Amino acid sequence: MTMKDLNKIVLDIRERQRIKPSANDRPAASWIGKDLVDGEIIDSLTIIFRTSGCYWGCAGGCTMCGYVYDSAAESPDDDDIHSQLEHALKKASDLEKMVVKIFTSGSFLDENEISRKSRENILLRLKEDDRIAKVIVETRPEFVTDQTMDDCMDLIAGKPFEIAVGLETSSDKIRSESINKGFSFRDFVRASEIAKVRGITTKAYLLLKPPFISEGMAVNDIIRSVNDIYPYADTVSINLCNVQKGTLVEMLWERKQFRPPWLWSIVEILHRTKSAHPDIVIMSDPVGAGSQRGPHNCKICSRDVADAVRNFSLTQDIRVLESVSCECRYLWEKIIELDDYTYGAPITV
Partner 1 sequence: MTRYFEVLQSDGAARIGEMILKRKIQTPSIIDVSYFRDPENPIVDAGSLWNISPEDADANVKDLRTSTGDDTLIILPHQAIPPVILHENSDVNEMMPEDSGAYGCLYRGWTSDNIDLYIMEAAGAFDNNAKKFFEKIVEIRNTIPFDTALYAPAIALPENVAMLAYLGIDLMDSTKTILASYRDLYLTSEGMQYLDRLSEFPCRCSACNGADISDIVSMAGPDRQEFLKQHNLNVLEAEMAYVRERIREETLREYIEGQCRARPWLTALLRLSDRECSYAESNTQVVRSVEMIANTSESLTRPEVVRFADRVVDRYAPPLADVLVILPCSAKKPYSISPSHQQFIRALGKHRKYVNELILTSPLGIVPRELEIAYPAAHYDISVTGQWSADEFEWVSSRLYSYLCSNDYGSVVAHVDGPYRKICETVAQKLGIRIICTSNGNATSKESLSNLKGTVSSLLKDESVTGIKKTEEMLRSIADFQFGKGAGKMLLPDGAVIKGPYPKYQIYVDKSQVATLVPQYGMLALTLKGADLILPSNSYIVTIDDFIPRGSILSPGVIKADTRIRPMDEVIVQGPRIIGVGRALMGGKQMTQSTRGIAVDLRHVRKY
Residue 268 as a binder of partner 1 (CB under 8 A): the answer is no
* 26 or 224: CB nearest partner 1: 224
* 114 or 219: CB nearest partner 1: 219
Residue 337 as a binder of partner 1 (CB under 8 A): the answer is yes
Identify the CA nearest to 348 among candidates 226, 239, 214. Answer: 214
* Total number of residues that touch partner 1 (CB under 8 A): 40
Host H or E run for residue 283:
strand 281-283
How many whole angstroms separate alpha carbon 104 and alpha carbon 139? 9
Q: Which stretch binds partner 1 (CB under 8 A): 3-11, 113-121, 156-164, 280-288?
A: 3-11
| Binding residue (CB under 8 A) for partner 1 from 122, 213, 243, 280 | 213
Under rule CB under 8 A, which residues in 101-160 are in contact with partner 1? none
Residue 11 as a binder of partner 1 (CB under 8 A): the answer is no
Residue 223 as a binder of partner 1 (CB under 8 A): the answer is no
| Binding residue (CB under 8 A) for partner 1 from 161, 258, 264, 312 | 258
| Binding residue (CB under 8 A) for partner 1 from 81, 207, 219, 335 | 335
The CA-atom distances, in angstroms, between 122 and each of 30, 97, 156, 246, 268 are 15, 18, 10, 31, 39
Residue 169 as a binder of partner 1 (CB under 8 A): the answer is no
How many whole angstroms separate alpha carbon 111 and alpha carbon 117? 9
Supply the minimum distance, in Å, between the C-beta of residue 256 and partner 1.
Answer: 7
Residue 275 as a binder of partner 1 (CB under 8 A): the answer is no
Residue 286 CB contacts under 8 Å (≥ 6 apart), including other chains:
240, 263, 266, 294, 295, 306, 309, 310
Residue 27 as a binder of partner 1 (CB under 8 A): the answer is no
* 6 or 289: CB nearest partner 1: 6
The pairing of beta strand 98-103 with beta strand 132-138: parallel
Say how many C-beta atoms besides its own lie within 10 A of residue 342's C-beta: 12
How many whole angstroms separate alpha carbon 95 and alpha carbon 111? 30
How many whole angstroms separate alpha carbon 60 and alpha carbon 55? 9
**E strands present in 55-187:** 98-103, 132-138, 161-168
Residue 5 as a binder of partner 1 (CB under 8 A): the answer is yes
The pairing of beta strand 29-37 with beta strand 40-48: antiparallel
Residue 36 as a binder of partner 1 (CB under 8 A): the answer is no
How many whole angstroms separate alpha carbon 291 and alpha carbon 296? 6
Residue 60 as a binder of partner 1 (CB under 8 A): the answer is no
Residue 299 as a binder of partner 1 (CB under 8 A): the answer is no
Residue 343 as a binder of partner 1 (CB under 8 A): the answer is yes
Residue 344 as a binder of partner 1 (CB under 8 A): the answer is yes
Supply the minimum distance, in Å, between the C-beta of residue 91 and partner 1.
Answer: 34
How many whole angstroms separate alpha carbon 73 and alpha carbon 58? 12
Positions touching partner 1 (CB under 8 A) are 1-2, 5-6, 9, 173-174, 177-178, 211-214, 217, 220-221, 248, 251-252, 255-258, 327-328, 330-331, 334-335, 337-338, 340-347, 349
